Amino acid sequence: MCEEHRTEATPELFVVGRRVRPRPRRPAEARRAVERAVSERCRASHVPCDAQALSDALLVVSELTTNAILHGGGITDFHVAVQGRLLCVSVSDRSAALPVAREPVDPQGRWRPGGHGWPIVCRLARDVRVTDLPSGGKRITAMVPLS
């Protein structure tokens, strides 16, 4: 899977003898964690960050976290890591339902909003995996190229 990269956005807390990372409550918090992880990696490796690749990564994390909040019962876990030239982001939620893409037009020919996030994630990420969690819910992990 991914090596975890901790940033200021994901400090460890100790709760009843175990480490717990605060998870984002809003997509903006998840985007900040991604920006920090990518900029730290670029600084450490002395390789300039690709602005378009970062933009793609931010869109992917926005879609995954928004969908977890709106359709998955909330974010239950969140990890961000930079591995080589890939960003690995994992978002877990309470729902076991698989993400689906909806047709933009309903059977009566009326335009309907929404349903575009999952195709965006699948188009921008190199690898996307959905894993059932033993305690219920699912984890979606996406690998987004950073170059």
**Model's pTM, two decimal places?**
0.80
- CB under 8 Å to 55, separation ≥6 — which residues? none
Residues 126-142 have pLDDT tens digits of 999 999 999 999 999 99
pLDDT of residue 42: 84
Residues 34-65 have pLDDT tens digits of 999 999 888 888 878 899 999 999 999 999 99
Nearest to 147 by CA among 126, 128, 132: 126
* Angle between helix 27-45 and helix 51-71 axes, rounded to 10 deg: 150
Domains of the chain: 13-145 (3.30.565.10)
87 class by beta-carbon count within 10 Å (0-12 exposed, 13-18 middle, 19+ buried):
buried
- DSSP code of residue 99: P
